[in-house]
Structure 1
């Protein structure tokens, strides 16, 4: 199976797993960690360009699990996290990883945040090395073995 096909299949499987847990994923901490993860994936290469920001924002708006939250609230949080990364990537990344780490004790939410990162990163058909690396770092912040997600 080609890498592209495996990636699409993996993203589809993860989205299905997320949808099955939708009712368990309604906390404010999950919402914040998810938007933080989306911003990190968008900025994985060290910058957030307008096209990448738009693409990720569109994916957030159509993700079934994230529809537990008001779209304008998600958009605002995503933009705030992107702004932190744009202003000072390294400092912003530390702050955002702390936000992600707040769901570490709730393993359903923690795994869902990682799955969202993979789904968002792979949505364009190219879960590149920078995106994989940033999601792998988030695994460590959540005390999850990256190998669990083939990272």
Structure 2
């Protein structure tokens, strides 16, 4: 093996390790983002294609989630939705638990609130049920809902 080939393989492996490390570092954020997405999308009883598209767009454009494949993130979203559909109380408990892990990171928490509001508004309306879920998410994250004109 030539030295150039060795360096190329070494750089490739280093890049793979960095990607894996970033996935681990941001896994809690991804889980919280998908938990919030599922909660807000299910707030009015059904998930619209506009809401799904807004979530996917967020995934593709946010640096913390860009290290994950779209299919991994969609699977996490579907897992939260399935839990909510199977048993609403347990599903909500697990979703809010995932969100709670972001409470100590004010920047991430505010980004999550902005994301869920954008998803809720994707279909052109932000109804009272969605606002109530957004308020509950704010409280779980330790954020005053009035920061987002929710109270």
Normalising to structure 2: TM-score of the pair? 0.75
Count of aligned residue pairs for this structure pair? 122
Q: Indicate conservation of the 8 Å contact 2:99/2:141, yes or no.
A: yes
Determine the C-alpha separation between the residues in 2 that align with 1:121 and 1:107: 21
RMSD: 1.6
Q: Which has the higher contact order (CA 8 A, sep 6+)?
A: 1
Normalising to structure 1: TM-score of the pair? 0.75
Q: Indicate conservation of the 8 Å contact 1:104/1:141, yes or no.
A: yes
Q: 4+ residue runs of structure 1 moved beyond 3 angstroms?
A: none
Q: Indicate conservation of the 8 Å contact 1:57/1:75, yes or no.
A: no
Mapping of 1:76-91 within 5 angstroms?
A: 76-91=75-90
Q: Which runs of 5+ in 2 are unaligned?
A: 1-24
Larger Rg: 2
| Pair 53,79 (structure 1): closer, same or farther in 2 beyond 3 Å | farther
Question: How far has the Cα of 1:67 moved from its partner?
Answer: 3.7
